[in-house]
Amino acid sequence: MSTHPITLLPGDGIGPEITAVARQLLDAVSARHGFSLSYDEQPIGAAAIDACGVPLPESTLEACRGADAVLLAAIGDPRCDVLPRELRPETGLLALRSGLGLFANLRPVKIIPTLIDASTLRPEVIEGVDLLVVRELTGGVYFGTPKGRVEADGHVRAFNTMAYRDDEIDRIARVGFALAQQRGGRLCSVDKANVLDVSQLWRDRVEAIHAEFPAVELSHMYVDNAAMQLVRAPRQFDVLLTSNLFGDILSDEAAMLTGSIGMLPSASLGEGGPGLFEPVHGSAPDIAGQDKANPMAMVLSAAMLLRVGLKQEAAAAALEAAVDRVLAAGFRTGDLMADGCTLLGCRAMGERLLEALED
Ligand code: IPM
Ligand code: MG
């Protein structure tokens, strides 16, 4: 029986609670599908600042590099908002993405029919939505230099640089086109080429890479229009390809089509090496430690880890089916609670999911 080493990064806030649920389910599903997982739990974010004084200890990065896949819950703690940038949890996450070379972030958004009424948008607008945000993750304004804050002439000035090199755009474009080819065959590249030079290069390179994928239908959209179209007519999208900052914003917006950000998984992939799988939601410090968190995005991220990271398709599908069954039976965490449903805490939801897996 093969054993896959997995690095678990529970992180902050609700992270440890949802990690415990995901781990139980991973154990159960791997046992049923004839493989086993070994876990190495490591600190990141505020938890790592408390334990080691930095948001991404070298030992955590090394453990991730040696794993077959990494499962991260969430980072972020309001106590850290006053710390210098290099000591913020977010800086640890960016260093992890960059340290593992995870340039491609995939955020699928698919309407779950049983949850269609949880959305703030009308059912006829979101029915059938099935899109994928492909976000560039290790470049753009998140990482560009120069950046900083200077004082001059009695004023303070702060700045960042939004920059992409042609090969950074080419490789994320190839990921986007390849995924579009496997899905609905349509790629919409989002930029701000009417204003930004960096976006014009983005558009030029995406056009050039299109020649390698003639079967994919390519369109371009300015980011402001894309933000509007996502709530106006979201079914028009198959794959949305975009840069780091635009992808950050559009993926939160797209998440709300489903009614709760508590349902969305993501995968971050590089060229070889382990992938990083994490829910799109954050650490929710307001409900941390109260057994109120929705563990489903974490469980669906574990499913993505099984499918994409370990090529265990049947086990991944079994986890996803367990989530569907529990929702269909009317069980909900607080974020999704509706009339006639049964409210559960995080742990109890984990138990229902385990039962659904056994069925
Ligand atoms: C995300 C988050 C992160 C980002 C933060 C926590 C650094 O918002 O993964 O979308 O901006 O990338
Ligand atoms: Mg974000």
At 168-192, the pLDDT tens digits run: 999 999 999 999 999 999 999 999 9
Split at pLDDT 50, 70, 90, the class of 261 is confident
**Ligand 1 centroid vs 282 CA: distance in angstroms?**
8
| Cα-based angle 136, 270, 166 (whole degrees, multiple of 5) | 50
A 10 A CB-CB count for 238 gives 18
pLDDT in tens, 76-105: 999 999 999 999 999 999 999 999 999 999
**In this structure, which residue's CA is closest to atom 5 in ligand 1?**
90
Active site residue 335: no
Identify the active-site residue in 142, 191, 292, 335. 142
Residue 262 pLDDT level (bands cut at 50, 70, 90):
confident
Contact 358, 68 (CB under 8 A): no
10-23: per-residue pLDDT in tens? Answer: 999 999 999 999 99
Ligand 1 binding pocket, CB closer than 6 Å = 76, 90, 93, 248
Mutation probe of ligand 1 site: the residue of 93, 98, 134 with most atoms within 8 A of C-beta: 93
Give me the chain's average pLDDT, please.
96
Q: Which atom of ligand 1 is nearest to the CA of 252?
A: 10
Residue type, 255: A
Beta bridge partners of 183: none
One-letter amino acid for residue 49 of the chain: I
Mean pLDDT confidence for 262-289 = 95
Place of tokens 């607008």: 125
148 conformational bin, left if phi > 0, alpha if psi -120 to 50, beta if neither = left
> Using 50, 70 and 90 to split pLDDT, how confident is the model at 309?
very high
Instruction: Write down the pLDDT at residue 1.
Output: 74
Amino acid letter, 258: T
CA of 48 from ligand 2 middle (Å) equals 21
Active site residue 252: yes
Average pLDDT over residues 189-203: 98
pLDDT category, 136, cuts 50, 70, 90? very high
Q: How many CB atoms lie within 10 A of CB 94?
A: 18
CA of 142, nearest ligand number:
1
| Cα–Cα distance for residue pair 86/91, rounded to 1 Å | 6
Domains identified in the chain and CATH numbers: 1-100+274-359 (3.40.718.10), 104-264 (3.40.718.10)
- The pLDDT of residue 260 is 80
pLDDT in tens, 207-251: 999 999 999 999 999 999 999 999 999 999 999 999 999 999 999
pLDDT of residue 259 exceeding 90: no
Mean pLDDT, rounded, for 64-74 = 98
Q: Rg of the chain's alpha carbons, rounded to an integer?
A: 20
> Which atom of ligand 1 is least distant from the CA of 76?
6
Using a CB cutoff of 5 Å, list residues around ligand 2, an ion: 248
d(CA 121, CA 161): 35
Given a cut of 90, is residue 118 above it in pLDDT? no
Q: Average pLDDT for residues 138-167, to the nearest whole number?
A: 97
The larger pLDDT score, comparing residue 256 to residue 135, is at 135
User: Given this model, what pLDDT does residue 187 score?
Assistant: 98
Contacts of 46 (CB under 8 A, 6+ apart): 11, 12, 55, 75, 76, 77, 79, 80, 89
